[in-house]
Amino acid sequence: MALTNNDIFKKLRVALQLRDDEIIEICKLVDFQVSKSELGAIFRKPDHPKFMECGDQFLRNFLNGLVIHKRGPMPPKKK
């Protein structure tokens, strides 16, 4: 059984003990807007009527924001 983006996102949230407001702030680090209701829909069970699939772009933006959150912004490249 393959993991979906929703499964990966849920596992990261639990492993890193992130609250919804922290996830929203992490997404803002890469200029990606997300609402609490969107997060709620992503974290629902797949058979729930308001379930929303976590797309590749959503997960990619979250992961990029998480890197900045944990490591800080990339230093400028030396010429």
**Buried-exposed string 20-53: b where 16+ CB fall within 10 A, e elsewhere:** beebbebbebbebebeeebbebbbeeeeeeeebe
Cα 46 off chain centre by: 17
Residue 73 has pLDDT above 90, yes or no: no
Residues of the chain with pLDDT > 90, as a percent, come to: 86
**Confidence at residue 1, expressed as pLDDT on a 0 to 100 scale:** 74
pLDDT in tens, 30-65: 999 999 999 999 999 999 999 999 999 999 999 999
Q: How far apart are CA 27 and CA 48, in angstroms?
A: 25
Contact assessment for residue 10 and residue 41, using Cβ atoms and an 8 Å cutoff: no
Residue 8 has pLDDT above 90, yes or no: yes
User: Quick one: average pLDDT of 17-38?
Assistant: 95
Assigned token pair, 25? 């702030």
- pTM equals 0.85
